[in-house]
Structure 1
Amino acid sequence: MMKKRLHLFVIGSLSLVLVQPAIAQQKTPAKKPVATKTAQKASTSALIPNDPNVKIGTLPNGLTYYIRKNTEPKKRAELYLANKIGSLMENDDQQGLAHFTEHMAFNGTKDFPKNEIINYLQKAGVRFGADLNASTGFNQTVYQLPIPTDSIEVFKNGFKILANWAGKVSMNGPDIDSERGVIVEEDRQRGKNAQQRMSNQLLPFLLANSRYEKRIPIGKVDILNNFTHDKIRSFYADWYRPNLQAVIAVGDFDVNEVENLIKANFSDLSNPKNAKPRPNYDLPDNVQPLVKIVSDKEQPYNVAQVMYKHREGPTKSATDFKNDLIQNMINSMLGARLQEITQKGNAPFLVAQSYYSPYMGGAVWGINAFQTIAVSKTAAGLADALSAALAENERMAKFGFTNSEFETVKKKVEAGIEKQYKEKDKTKSVVYVNQYLENFLVGASMPSADYNYNETKKILQSLTLAEVNAMAKSLITQTNQVIVVQAPEKEAKDLPTEAQLLAVLKNAGNNVKPYVDNAVNKPLLATIPTAGKIVSESKTDKVGVTSLTLSNGVKVVLKPTDFKNDQVIFYSFGKGGSSLASNSDYQSAENANLIAQSGVGEFNPTQLSKYLAGKAVSASAYINSEYQGFSGSSTPKDLETAFQLIYAYATNPRKDVEIFNKNISDFKVITANKNSSPTSVYADTVQAVMANYNKRGMPTTLQDIDKISLDKAFAFYKDRFADASGQTFVFVGNFDVEKIKPFITTYLASLPTLNRNENFVDLGINPPKGKVSKTVYKGLEDKATVQLYFHGDYDYNVDNNTQLEALKSALEIKILERLREKESGVYSPGVQLSVEKYPSAHYYFTISFNCAKANVDKLINAALDEVNSFRQNGATEDDIKKFKSEELRQEELSLRENGFWLSYLANRLKNGESLEQVLGDRDRVNSVTVGTTKTSAQKYLSSDNYIRLVLVPEK
């Protein structure tokens, strides 16, 4: 758990699309647009027919319902309540109360007082937060309730719960007052950082002169703390009404029965007399480009973003469908061009992205945007970085895409739609729910899988490159342009001015030339290897597994399934990893993964992507601290390509100086900038403390990066895969054991072997024993982060691990009840459990939360009080019942997932455990009692090894 892990591509995982509220929005009617209409959806062609498998109806009171039978997952249903209202409906003195109302729905209703909804559902195996949840946006509030259907009482009560949310929330005064602190803490947990401070400047700019600007869903803290109860009660009475609501039910049930349940539970709801009209709101256009530059002391990177806004309604017609497809193809082709530049040593940006998507992540319905983002190494280089990214837009607009790019992306689209169509009878219920939500909220179409497949195939057959290039050109408009820059405060003086940014926008495309495709027209493998043999075969029938031993010592474990029609996933491991590197070379060894990320053989990553176009397959190699191996996925028809990729990564790695040096250069920038972020400084401290300051477990420094050598990394990579005799492969998915064997003998039994019989080395990266307390002082605002660790060595076995899981589950319930419900001091505290067998058996409990600085000691003492209660009394019967129900219900779902089996089999094989272990899970879970949790708490929640790590603002 606490091993050192480098992240050379941290910046690639940044949320680069700026200030995107994590909320879905409803379409607003368009005012007269200034923007060009070439990208606007035209609904003049035939409307897309609704999927005939969904039953749509409306009750006399106006409530809409969508019902569909679907058996993935089996014995489950997704129940949703959609309300076509959000923060835009609030009065000035109600700001934040749409979201507050959502919270109150879980704090007591007519038929489920206090927290009885959560309590009841947890006992039925429904997890609060992970399953049972809700969200509020500008235009809508949505409640989600995944529920079992094999319990008639629970299933029927699911509809009663939805109806209680729809019109029977209690809004008791003391409950309202108790929830105020929780809402304020939610704002603290999600904000009080550089992103929120910059968002506070950017949102009024991006949403200027509109209702959106004045109705950010979280609201205003002074209103949240002081509003009178009548304000939230009147909001609920005015807006939670059936003619603005929909019930969506998709799952393994009888459609007619569900329709009757909806009628029985929702028909008595009524609309208010003289109901307020449901208003729609819009954003104004801008003729001249708008520019905003913001900086913050804790912002680590220089980021520029240009947006070209377009008005675009929901997908309703065949023309809309075609436009969507073309836009996605443009995103793919332009993204590939930018990725190709990013791999070059002289790339002017760390990261660049361009794509067409909803404006601000969908915050404002009816507005999309073509967006370009560039991240530079320095503020002084931001203009050049943005110019280079925008030049690709202009290259696209002036010269279009090449025929080879067009053919490549068509192959990718076709492969994707083929895979989707083959899985149509295995589609998860939540996929359909999201379709129906879009239909209710914004009027989007609900096409069937057959329509999606046939229409896409038809479009691909007739689509011309000229049509695609015309659409691409239309995305770069001369009006409705927005430029946003976010930068570290310390570099603000070196940023380009507004005038310079406007000049970049105007001149970026000067002197661009047509794109030249660099595809490699060669086979992945120069020659097919000489096949080896299968020397032994055995079966573990109770879990449907076949195990093979190959002539070169490689072991293969096969589990064919029917959970997905078009999926095979795989993973392999061999002992050793970077633990075998010497102390002088470990920096290079720990970055040997860069070799796998540089492509394979003669194919760099871009060329490999083009080569694989038309195939739904991926594979790569990895090296971590204890193991090396391969992982990937494929369709059954592309399996041979997946095996060829494994063989190529093992025997013909690519040594690319340019890609390697670009990544090292980027990593230096990331490392140099990371200390501006409080969470980054805190994370480094946590890593150092938990590694007990062992050099091999410490955060990476600039000095460490200087020691990374391409030659050493490449040599280490080659050495790790020079001996496959210790590799164990696991394949799970839709394949026939006999038909996969020729691929196994050809590409796995032929892997090179040296029979070194290796093991990993215990580097001694272990947490400190005893009591440790460390406080980090970093940050500008009143926000503290707390992590409390209880850990120790233990006897790793499945029985102990089950007891640990039970203890974790029950403790999580009590920590939530105490810190959130009783103390009103946190929003979402967490309890995590991590266990490991190798290199030494150890367990870690972590209690974590965010809170106000003044409450740190009080809330830590409250958490420790709950831990002490467990040591004295164990878990309650109620909480044990919740654990058992949730654990067994989740296992029912997991046993039908390929991903579960891949992880399960790999872990059993790594740890030398029985592959049939899962068959005893129910008995082990049912063996948990109050007494066993008390014994476990005394043993595993001992204060002997206790680590307290806190982040508080700077003094």
Structure 2
Amino acid sequence: MRIKIIYKIYLASSLLLASIISTSAHGQIRKASIKTKEKSSFPITTNLPLDPNVRTGKLSNGFTYFIRRNTHPKDRVIMYLANKVGSLLENDDQQGLAHFMEHMNFNGTTHFPKNELVDYLQKSGVRFGADINAYTGFDETVYQLPLPSDKPEILRNGIQIMRDWAKGAILDPVEIDKERGVVLEEKRLGKGASQRMQQKIFPVLFNQSRYGQRLPIGLDTILNNFKPATLKQFYNDWYRPNLQALIVVGDIDVVEMEKEIKLKFSDLNNPANERSRTKYTINLTNSNHFVKATDPEETATQVQVLVKREGLVVKTKKYYQDYIVRKLFNSMLGNRFQELMQQKQPPFIAGNAGIGAFIGNIDAFNINVAANPGEIEKGFKAAWREIVRLNRYGFTAAEFDKTKADYIKNVENAYRQKNTNYSDLYIGEYLDYFLRGNAAPGTEWEYRFTKLIMPKITLADVNTLLKEFDTDKNRDIIITAPEKDKAILPDETSINGWMKSVQQEQLAIYKDAFVNKPLLEKIPVGGKIVKQTELNEIKASDLVLSNGVRVILKPTKFSDNDILVKAVAPGGTSLYSDADYESANVAAYLVTSSGLGTYDYNQLNKYLAGSTIASGPYLADYNQGIQAAASPADLETLLQMFYLYFTNPKKDSTAFEKFISQSKGSLANRKNNPENAFYDTLSLVMGNYSPRRTPPGIEKLEQIDLDKSYNIFRQAFSDASNFTFTFVGDFDINKVKPLVEKYLGALPSAYKHEKAKDLGIHPPSGKITKIISAGLEPKATVRLTFSGNYDFGYENNLNMDAIAEVLQIKLIERLREEESGVYAPSVNIRYTKLPAARYSLNISLGCAPSNVDKLIASTLDEINTLKKAGPSVTNIEKFKAEEMRNHETHLRANDFWSEYLDQQALNQDDLTEITKFDSVMKNMTAESVKNAARKYLNESNLIRIILYPEGFKPEVNP
């Protein structure tokens, strides 16, 4: 259960670059249209069709439904209940109750009193939080429920749960009072610099509209004191069938599902004296706004310019064409900003610009800059200069032609995957269709229309787009910065002066230096497959090449047009001294940002644009490798890149100096954020105080040497005989083998058989307590860690997973539901085999500072109960149900197999070990889990790390 984030936050060099952009439930930008001067051959009044693969209908009471059969994943279904009910509908005395109501639907409904809903779902294999969840936004509240669909009883109960969520909440006053603390703890987690600055910015940014007065999380005074009758009034007014829709996508019988929906939802009634649902908007007044917000805990100086305009929903062919034009525009402008970032001395730490949906009924053209310390004018002018250049000269024909071709390739790739898309993809489209009225014509229609319309879209269409936003009306300028820089921040007159001065500059026309040429100058002489072993139990082939390279091939039909490729070898940065660590730690990043072969970074991106290739090498603590993906058509290009990583990685001093410059900028105010103090301490203690785990700083940057980094990368990727490559996905083994021989068989091999060194970087033994005092908000962060040596093995690992899950269940029950002291306690288990068999069980929670000792005591009490009495049979059965359902899904997912084979190869474990799952789960008992807990959850090896706000005096009992 969560608050809907209605603005996107872009992360740039660990800094928040605020961009207030509305998103759908799955992060998809709302397709607000942009008008162009195109004289389309398609009438503007021609509405787009709804995806013919979805069955939709509306009951006599106004309740809407969408049903689609989709067999990926098999035997699974996802149900969403969408309500056009959000915080904008709250009365003054109800602020926060839309979100509170969302919580209460999990705390007792007609057929599932109190917490029986979560209990039932866990027994059915559904995890609370991870699977069953909900969110509340300004305009909607949405509930999600993924279920197994191969058991009719569970499926029927799933529909009953959705029916109860639609109108079946009990709203017991006792449960309401218990939930107050949970909601307030959720609100506490969001407090900090961003939240404090938003309070200053939002009213101005939202034009003093209701959006600035009704943030979904609500007000403490109301959340603490509202009467149950006030919540019931909100519920009775707005939870009604003519504002609701049920979306069901999955491996189901559509006809039977429709019958069940009609049976369950037809008796819902709208209120006799129905309140009118006001559609709140942001009015454009043609006025400009300027606002500055500073905070002691802010880490970056950021400038954002937004030119706002009325947004139009995509319903017609013409507006879909306009949407494509906008995508082309954003892609080309994004490339230009990316090139700015690749300069030796980038003008800013991060920057971007584009046209997109803003919030509610508004679109905006956004320019965002995170400035280098003391260089806000330089950074802003550099970004504005690109906008002026574009407005003056437009995009080039070469940029336009290539971007169009790349866009078509991407649409074609999506079309090829249409038969194996996961259900989540369709859910997002139908949600957007119901909640915001955006068209959902389906993949096939979008593919055909794009192919048809793209030749008719001209360069003039795209170049005209920016001119529509070339205005000094409805323009907002927002500056956020650390409090200490308040005196040196520009005012509105200064910003306007900077814009004017750039407008008067003599700017050169943009020139694209890209030249298309082969990735490899010469095709290598390959090797041969010298050994092949069939792994029939997992339907894979294990190959050895003449140069010692190991290759595992697992063809699947889980996802069309998609192949995941990984390479891994032991060693990593552990093979280098502490003095060389910083150079080793960034070696893969520096090579990646330099380019590959004869292409620099920007040229390589342009060469690969439109392809499905994603690829990146890495050097971790104890291994090195490559993680990549491609379509079958792009696989040869990907393997050429692999060949270049081993034989011709690029070294670019410009990329190096860019990295150093940006890193210094990011570090300048890093200490302002109290969470950094917490995680720096956590890293240091959990790393056994190794110099490799000390906080980042300028002195560490000064240890990095480009030549050393480059040579370390060359060494790490010099001996292919130590590598295992795994291929999982949509391919024909007989077609892949020749490519494997041709490129992987040509890789250099030294047969050194290097192993990772154990550097002792692991949590130390003993009872350790570390207290950090930082931060202005009354909130604490707690991490408890049990760790030590471990008997690594498949059965033991599953028992440890069981410990983590049953403990998670118990902590939610006690810390959240009984004590109302936390929002979301988290239990995480980690175990490793190499370079030494170790485990760590981590418990994390956020809470009020005054509750820390109490909640730690409750947590340790639950752990001691687990060790003494073991988990309940019910909770073991819950774990088994969840794990077995997850296992079924994993076995039909490329990403699972790719990660599994990669890790088994690295650990030199049996690749068919996964076939033991059923027998291990069958033999798992409460006793076996209790024995594991007694062995590994030893309080003599317990680390407590606690972040308190400044000035708070804790009483810690180590």
TM tier, smaller? over 0.9
SS of the residue corresponding to residue 760 of structure 1 reads: coil
Secondary structure of residue in 2 paired with 1:831: strand
Q: Percent identity?
A: 42
The answer to whether residue 455 in structure 2 is matched with residue 461 in structure 1 is yes
Q: Distance in 1 between matches of 2:869 and 2:27?
A: 50
* 1:502 pairs with 2:496: yes
CA change 1:278–1:40 in 2 (3 A) is farther
Secondary structure of the 1:806 match is: helix
Query: Taking structure 1 as the reference length, what is the TM-score of the superposition?
Result: 0.95
Report if the CA contact (8 A) 1:193-1:781 is conserved. Answer: yes
The residue identity in structure 2 corresponding to 1:827 is: Y
Q: CA deviation at 1:38?
A: 7.3
Deviations along 1:397-422, one digit per CA (max 9) or x if unpaired, are: 22111111112212221121111101
Between 1:646-655 and 1:235-244, the stretch displaced more is 646-655
- Structure 2: distance between partners of 1:590 and 1:102: 45
Q: How does 1:513-912 map to 2 (within 5 A)?
A: 513-593=508-588, 594-912=590-908
Aligned counterparts of 2:934 and 2:20: Cα–Cα separation in 1: 46
3-state SS of paired residue (2:938): coil
Q: Report the Cα offset of residue 573 of structure 1.
A: 1.0
- Cα deviation 1:481-526 (Å, max 9, x = unaligned): 1111110111121212221122234443432221110103322111
Kept in 1, the 8 Å contact 2:87–2:216? The answer is yes
For 1:436, the aligned partner's letter is: Y
The separation in 2 between residues aligned to 1:625 and 1:422, in whole angstroms, is 38
Q: Structure 2: how far apart are the matches of 1:890 and 1:13?
A: 33
Q: After superposition, where does 1:78-97 map in structure 2 within 5 Å?
A: 78-97=78-97
Counterparts in 2 of 1:416 and 1:734: CA distance versus 1, 3 Å: same
User: Is residue 36–residue 461 contact of structure 2 (8 Å, CA) maintained in 1?
Assistant: no
2:938 is matched with 942
1-structure distance, mates of 2:200, 2:647? 53
More off after superposition, 199-208 vs 879-888: 199-208
**1:43/1:320 contact within 8 Å kept:** no
Matched-pair contact (CA < 8 Å) for 2:688–2:760 = no
The separation in 2 between residues aligned to 1:17 and 1:400, in whole angstroms, is: 27
The aligned counterpart of 1:5 is: none
Counterpart in 1 of 2:6?
none
Residue 7 of structure 2 corresponds to which residue in structure 1? none
Q: Secondary structure at the match of 1:763?
A: coil
* Distance change (3 Å), C-alpha of 1:848 and 1:25: closer
State whether residues 44 and 319 of structure 2, in contact with CA within 8 Å, keep that contact through their aligned partners in structure 1. Answer: no
Instruction: Identify the residue that residue 68 of structure 1 maps to in structure 2.
Output: 68
Name the aligned partner's letter for residue 131 of structure 1: D
Q: What letter is aligned with 2:932? A: S
User: Residue 266 of structure 1 aligns with which residue?
Assistant: 265
Where does residue 292 of structure 2 map in the other structure?
293
Letter in 2 for 1:796: F
Aligned pairs, number: 935
Q: Single out whichever of 349-358 and 200-209 deviates more from structure 2.
A: 200-209
Give 1:474 shift: 2.4
- Which residue number corresponds to residue 411 of structure 1? 405
| Residues 1:712 and 1:10: Cα distance change in structure 2 (over 3 Å) | farther
1:297-376 correspondence to structure 2 within 5 Å: 297-359=296-358, 364-376=359-371
Distance 1:772 1:21, change over 3 A: farther
Alignment RMSD = 2.0
Whether the 8 Å contact between 1:345 and 1:662 is mirrored in structure 2 is yes
Q: What amino acid maps onto 2:209 in structure 1? A: S
TM-score (norm 2): 0.95
Q: CA deviation at 1:37?
A: 8.7
Contact 2:48–2:315 (8 Å) recurs in 1: yes
The farther-off stretch of 325-334 and 506-515 is 506-515
Please state how far the C-alpha of 1:563 moved relative to its aligned partner.
Answer: 0.7
Q: Summarize the Cα distance change of 1:333–1:296 in structure 2 as closer, same or farther, 3 Å threshold.
A: same
Gaps of 5+ in 1: 1-8, 28-32
Matching of residues 39-438 of structure 1 within 5 Å: 44-189=44-189, 191-359=190-358, 364-378=359-373, 380-438=374-432
Q: CA deviation at 1:387?
A: 1.5
CA distance in structure 2 between the aligned counterparts of 1:281 and 1:618, rounded to whole angstroms: 42
1:184 touches 1:224 (CA, 8 Å); kept in 2? Answer: yes
Cα drift, residue 40 of structure 1: 15
Distance 2:326 2:470 in 1: 13
Using the alignment, how far apart are the partners of 1:217 and 1:80 within structure 2? 20
Mark the CA change 1:417 to 1:662 in structure 2 (over 3 Å): closer, same or farther.
Answer: same
* 1:10, distance to aligned residue in structure 2 (A): 7.2
Q: Map Cα deviations across residues 745-794 of structure 1 (whole Å, 9 max, x no partner).
A: 11111111222221121112121101000000000110100000011101
Task: Give 1:541 shift.
Answer: 0.8
Question: Mean Cα displacement is larger for which, 307-316 or 507-516?
Answer: 507-516
Contact 2:282/2:360, CA 8 A, preserved across alignment: no
> Secondary structure of the residue that 2:595 maps to in structure 1?
coil
> In 2, Cα distance between the equivalents of 1:39 and 1:444?
21
Q: Report deviation, 1:668.
A: 2.0
Residue deviations 1:245-296 (CA, integer Å, cap 9, x gap): 1111111111111111111111111111110011011112142431111111
Alpha-carbon contact 1:307-1:372 (below 8 Å) kept: yes
Q: Secondary structure at the match of 2:17?
A: coil
Find the aligned partners of 1:122 and 1:796 in 2 and give their Cα distance.
28
* Contact 1:88 1:138 survives alignment (8 Å): yes
- Unpaired stretches in structure 2, ≥5 consecutive residues: 1-9, 952-958
Task: Tell me the residue number matched to 2:3.
Answer: none
Q: CA deviation at 1:913?
A: 1.2
Partner of 1:597: helix, strand, or coil? helix
Instruction: Report how far residue 36 of structure 1 moved.
Output: 9.3
Q: Secondary structure at the match of 2:542?
A: strand
What CA distance in whole angstroms lies between the structure 1 residues aligned with 2:740 and 2:136? 51
* Matched residue type, 2:808: E
Shift of 1:601: 2.0
Paired letter, 1:523: P
Amino acid at match of 2:342: Q
Supply the AA of the counterpart residue of 2:480. Answer: Q
Partner deviation per Cα, 1:422-473 (whole Å, 9 max, x = no partner): 1111121121111111111121112022111011111222222122211233
AA at the equivalent of 1:303: Q
- 8 Å Cα contact 1:672/1:702 also seen in 2: no
Instruction: Read off the aligned partner of 1:922 and give its amino acid letter.
Output: D
The answer to whether the 8 Å contact 1:40/1:312 transfers is no
Which amino acid letter does the alignment assign opposite residue 457 of structure 1? K
Query: Taking structure 1 as reference, are residues 647 and 26 closer, same or farther at Cα in structure 2, changes over 3 Å only?
Result: closer
Secondary structure, aligned partner of 2:579:
coil
Distance 2:527 2:743 in 1: 8
Once the two structures are TM-superposed, the CA of residue 204 in structure 1 deviates from its matched residue by 1.4
CA–CA separation in structure 1 for the residues paired with 2:500 and 2:449 = 39
* Structure 1 CA distance for aligned equivalents of residues 816 and 154 of structure 2: 27
- Measured after TM superposition, the shift of residue 305 of structure 1 is 0.7
CA distance in 2, matches of 1:590, 1:13: 17
Instruction: Describe the SS at the equivalent of 1:585.
Output: helix
Pairwise CA distance, 1:21: 7.7
Q: 1:596: how far off?
A: 2.3
Instruction: Specify the SS of the correspondent of 1:17.
Output: strand
Shift of 1:629: 2.0
Aligned partner of 1:931 among 908, 912, 927: 927
In the alignment, residue 553 of structure 2 is paired with which amino acid? Answer: L
Q: CA deviation digits over 1:586-613, x for unaligned, max 9? A: 2211111111221112211110111123
Q: 2:107·2:114 contact (CA, 8 Å) conserved in 1?
A: yes
Bigger drift between 466-475 and 136-145 goes to: 466-475
